[in-house]
Structure 1
Amino acid sequence: MATVWQKCRDGYPKRTDPPCEGPKCGHPWTVRYREPGGRTAKQREKSFPRKKEADAYASKVENDKNEGVYLDPKRGAITLRAWAEQWLGQIIVGESTRRNYEGFIEKWLVPNIGRKTLSGLTASDVQSLVNKMHRSGLAASTISDRLNPLRAMMRAAIREKRIADSPCEGVTLPRRGTSAVGEDEIPTLEQVHAIARNISGQYALSIWLMAGAGLRISEALGFSVDCDRGDFLRSRRQVSSKANQGDCRTRLVPLKHRTEDEYRDVPLPPFLSAEIEAHIDQWGVTDVEGFQVLFAPRERGKGTMPTATTYGYHWRKALEAAGLTVLVDGKVKPLFTPHSLRHFFASTALGGGVPLLEVSRWLGHRSIKVTADTYGHLTPDAPERFRTVMQDALRPALKAVAS
Structure 2
Amino acid sequence: MGWVWKERQSWRGSYRDEGGKQHTKSFKRQVDAKRWVATEEAKVVRGDWINPAAGKVTFAAFYAGWAPRQIWLSSTRENADLATASVTFGDLQLRSIRRSHIEAWVKNMTSRLAASTIDTRFTIVRGVFRAAVADRLIASDPTAGVVLPRKRKAEAAMRIPTHADVAKLLNAAEPPHRPRSRPGFTAYVALCAFAGLRRGEALGVQVGDIDFLGRTLRVTRQLQRAKGADIAAGNDLVDAAGGITVVVRPPKYESERTIYLPDELVAILSEHVRQHTPSGASDRWLFDEHGKPWHDNLVDYRWRSTRADGGLSHRLHDLRHYFASGLIAAGCDVVTVQRAMGHSSGTTTLSTYAHLWPTAEDKTRAAASEMAAAVLATHLPRTGAQ
1:293 to 275, 282, 285: 285
CA contact (8 A) 1:32 1:43 kept: no
The alignment status of 1:157 with 2:132, answered yes or no, reads yes
* Closer, same or farther: CA 82–4 of 1 in aligned 2, 3 Å: farther
* Closer, same or farther: CA 67–195 of 1 in aligned 2, 3 Å: closer
Which residue does 2:99 correspond to in 1?
Answer: 123
* 2:259 counterpart SS class: strand
CA contact (8 A) 1:350 1:359 kept: yes
1:251-400 paired onto structure 2 within 5 Å: 251-258=247-254, 262-284=255-277, 291-296=283-288, 298-301=289-292, 305-324=293-312, 335-379=313-357, 383=361, 385=363
1:225-240 paired onto structure 2 within 5 Å: 225-229=207-211, 230-240=214-224
1:91 to 70, 91, 106: 70
Which residue does 1:75 correspond to in 2?
Answer: 54
**Aligned equivalents of 1:353 and 1:205: distance in 2?**
26
**Aligned equivalents of 1:150 and 1:130: distance in 2?**
11
Structure 1 residue 145: Cα displacement: 3.1
1:194 to 168, 171, 194: 168
Structure 1 residue 68: Cα displacement: 4.0
Which residue does 1:207 correspond to in 2?
Answer: 189
Q: Which moved more, 1:163-172 or 1:29-38?
A: 29-38
CA contact (8 A) 1:285 1:294 kept: no
**Aligned equivalents of 2:275 and 2:57: distance in 1?**
60
Residues 2-53 of structure 1 show CA distances to partners (whole Å, capped at 9, x for unaligned) of 66888xxx5xxxxxxxxxxxx9xxxxx8967454258xx44456689x7799
* 1:137 counterpart SS class: coil
Residues 188-220 of structure 1 show CA distances to partners (whole Å, capped at 9, x for unaligned) of 223212212222122211111111001112211
Unaligned runs of 5+ in 1: 11-22, 24-28, 325-334, 394-403
Structure 1 residue 358: Cα displacement: 1.3
CA contact (8 A) 1:80 1:117 kept: yes
Aligned partner of 1:237: which letter?
R
Structure 1 residue 113: Cα displacement: 2.4
Aligned sequence identity (%): 27
Structure 1 residue 103: Cα displacement: 2.0
* 2:273 counterpart SS class: helix
CA contact (8 A) 1:4 1:54 kept: no
Structure 1 residue 125: Cα displacement: 2.0
TM-score relative to the length of structure 2: 0.75
CA contact (8 A) 2:84 2:125 kept: no
CA contact (8 A) 1:349 1:359 kept: yes
The alignment status of 1:171 with 2:146, answered yes or no, reads yes
Structure 1 residue 372: Cα displacement: 3.2
**Aligned equivalents of 1:323 and 1:144: distance in 2?**
33
CA contact (8 A) 1:31 1:54 kept: no
* 1:195 counterpart SS class: helix
Structure 1 residue 287: Cα displacement: 9.0
**Aligned equivalents of 1:339 and 1:384: distance in 2?**
28
Residues 307-352 of structure 1 show CA distances to partners (whole Å, capped at 9, x for unaligned) of 333322111111222222xxxxxxxxxx111112112212222222
The alignment status of 1:224 with 2:206, answered yes or no, reads yes
**Aligned equivalents of 1:45 and 1:285: distance in 2?**
81
* Closer, same or farther: CA 30–239 of 1 in aligned 2, 3 Å: farther
* 1:250 counterpart SS class: strand
Structure 1 residue 107: Cα displacement: 4.1
CA contact (8 A) 1:101 1:149 kept: no
CA contact (8 A) 1:32 1:46 kept: yes
CA contact (8 A) 2:191 2:265 kept: yes
**Aligned equivalents of 2:332 and 2:48: distance in 1?**
53
CA contact (8 A) 2:202 2:222 kept: yes
CA contact (8 A) 1:30 1:45 kept: no
* 1:75 counterpart SS class: coil
**Aligned equivalents of 1:343 and 1:254: distance in 2?**
22
CA contact (8 A) 1:250 1:306 kept: no
**Aligned equivalents of 1:194 and 1:392: distance in 2?**
35
Residues 260-292 of structure 1 show CA distances to partners (whole Å, capped at 9, x for unaligned) of xx502221111112222211121118999x942
The alignment status of 1:61 with 2:43, answered yes or no, reads no
TM-score relative to the length of structure 1: 0.73
CA contact (8 A) 1:4 1:58 kept: no
**Aligned equivalents of 2:276 and 2:266: distance in 1?**
15
**Aligned equivalents of 2:151 and 2:138: distance in 1?**
30
* Closer, same or farther: CA 377–193 of 1 in aligned 2, 3 Å: same
The number of residues matched between the two structures is: 347
Aligned partner of 1:293: which letter?
W
Structure 1 residue 233: Cα displacement: 1.7
Structure 1 residue 253: Cα displacement: 1.6
**Aligned equivalents of 2:348 and 2:48: distance in 1?**
39
